[in-house]
Structure 1
Amino acid sequence: MSIPQFKLIVVGDGCTGKTTFISRHQSGEFQRKYIPTIGVDVRLLPFYTSVGEVHFEVHDTAGQEKFGGLRDAHYINSNACFLFFDVTSRATYNNVESWYSDVDHICPDIPYILIGNKCDVQNREVRTQAVNWHRKKGIKYVEMSAKSNYNYEVPFLLLCRILARDESLNFTQAPALVPAEINMSEQQMNQIHNDMMKANMAALPDQDE
């Protein structure tokens, strides 16, 4: 029996942590030095779930505008997309709509996961409660931190559940990660979790009173 394989594109502004996120899933290491992706980097990541093994062919796109034409060619035949922004940079969140439009133009009706990276930072520019773009599109939102390993597997778990149409799906093997660079407090993790739940469940902006 063949193993299901999906093409996943990872998009967002440069320096939002896309490559670090993918690299650590593959090697278990945190990439301390920022190295811009030139064009598109392709990696194959296996995941082991309660409904079987699944592979993602991950296309990590460059965040720089000058690679726009090359990126567009790699969007073709994509099955899903991770939209990245950096919670310490409001500009990267403001650009999410543009990234979504670029992908949706070529790959309409694919599932997306919106990812707010670097949530371990206290001095952030984008608060969880202010993240509402995903509500309009019916997209799941998750905050994560590469340095602390917080929620590192959640984007892939949510995507696997969407693709399998099974909310009870779980991973049977956890990604191999090196020890966290920093430790987030239990209080901080609980606060982020509660804020994300509220953000995902909140009414659409045009329905707000």
Structure 2
Amino acid sequence: MAEVVAPSKIVVSSSKSSSRVLKVTAEEPSTDSKDSTSIKVICLGDSAVGKSKLIERFLEDQYKPQRQSTFALTLYKYETKVKGQKVLVDFWDTAGQERFNSMHSSYYHQAHACVLVFDTTRKVTYKNLGHWYEELRQHRPDIPCILVGNKIDVDYQVTKRSFKFARANHLPFFFVSASDGTNVVKVFRESIKAALLYKDSSTDFLDEVMRELEAMDDLSSVQPVLTKEESAINEHSEPSSSIDT
């Protein structure tokens, strides 16, 4: 189970660039990079289904940052621990791009898991799931995807209905509410665990390359441990700093 560390600070930075970063840092002191791993979780679905509010509810209860429709991307950075390992999570939010019915390929690049959201109060958002799921699989055919029906607080009777999309595509499905918090934490904890499992077991060529690069970075940060004999040899073999004239 993921050990979620309570956020201690949120830093919001924005500029004329097309992206915004919200950073949630943990109270615990940071550890070396070799003791941590990074994952990317993306959110998909129609505009106004509550993707941003779900992430914000998970990160900071009742947190409501100001939004600008000109932003093309909102990136939420989050730290947690899973089985004692520090995990750095990037939650990517569409921030309005979905209104164009398509996402740029860079949005999907190196994603490790997806949270696919529809609005239980608007049938059209459910009907459009097929479009988003097809686009996801074009770019990331194998990453785990969790289906989420949001806004159940409007009418809890909707939880008695059967939604065939999840079953037809073999997806885990959760009813959630960004308003009252129902199942929000569970969904994102599951997405983190699924992303970690995918990253560790992926056979995708680019994923394998990224794992090799991360391993090389870890090795480069490790200093070799010399025996006393090797240290003595190195000391005698080092050139003198003085210059004879």
Relative to the length of structure 2, the TM-score reads 0.59
Q: Percent identity?
A: 25
- Counterpart-to-counterpart distance in 1, 2:165 and 2:43: 18
Question: How do 1:1-16 residues align onto structure 2 when only pairs under 5 Å count?
Answer: 1-16=34-49
Question: What do you get for the CA RMSD once the two structures are aligned?
Answer: 2.6
The answer to whether the 8 A contact 2:49-2:118 is kept is yes
The answer to whether the 8 A contact 1:13-1:92 is kept is yes
Give 1:68's match in structure 2, choosing from 102, 110, 121: 102
- Counterpart-to-counterpart distance in 1, 2:44 and 2:195: 19
Give 2:116's match in structure 1, choosing from 83, 91, 104: 83
- Counterpart-to-counterpart distance in 2, 1:142 and 1:36: 28
Secondary structure in 2 matching 1:68 = coil
The answer to whether the 8 A contact 1:8-1:81 is kept is yes
- Counterpart-to-counterpart distance in 1, 2:160 and 2:64: 25
- Structure showing greater Rg: 2
Q: Which residue of 2 aligns with 1:152?
A: 184
User: Quick one: which amino acid aligns to residue 66 of structure 1?
Assistant: F
Q: Deviations over 1:147-195 (max 9, x none)?
A: 1111111112222343455xxxxxxxxxxxxxxxxxxxxxxxxxxxxxx
Q: Which residue of 2 aligns with 1:17?
A: 50
Q: 1:72 to 1:128 in 2, by over 3 A?
A: farther
Q: 1:63 to 1:15 in 2, by over 3 A?
A: farther
The answer to whether the 8 A contact 1:12-1:83 is kept is yes
- Counterpart-to-counterpart distance in 1, 2:179 and 2:145: 23
Give the length in aligned residue pairs.
Answer: 163
Q: Deviations over 1:80-121 (max 9, x none)?
A: 111010111111011111101111101110000001111111
Q: Which residue of 2 aligns with 1:140?
A: 172
What's the CA shift for 1:131?
A: 0.7
Q: Which runs of 5+ in 2 are unaligned?
A: 1-33, 198-245
Q: Which residue of 1 aligns with 2:147?
A: 114
More divergent stretch after superposition (153-162 vs 29-38) = 29-38
What's the CA shift for 1:64?
A: 3.3
- Counterpart-to-counterpart distance in 1, 2:38 and 2:105: 21
Q: Which residue of 2 aligns with 1:54?
A: 87
Q: Deviations over 1:7-57 (max 9, x none)?
A: 111011111111111123333225499865732211112233345332221
What's the CA shift for 1:132?
A: 1.3
Q: Which residue of 1 aligns with 2:214?
A: none
Q: Which runs of 5+ in 1 are unaligned?
A: 166-209
The answer to whether the 8 A contact 2:41-2:192 is kept is no
Q: 1:151 to 1:36 in 2, by over 3 A?
A: farther
- Counterpart-to-counterpart distance in 1, 2:98 and 2:189: 28
Secondary structure in 1 matching 2:102 = helix
Q: 1:158 to 1:26 in 2, by over 3 A?
A: closer
The answer to whether the 8 A contact 2:39-2:195 is kept is no
Secondary structure in 2 matching 1:120 = helix
- Counterpart-to-counterpart distance in 1, 2:70 and 2:50: 11
Q: 1:102 to 1:12 in 2, by over 3 A?
A: same
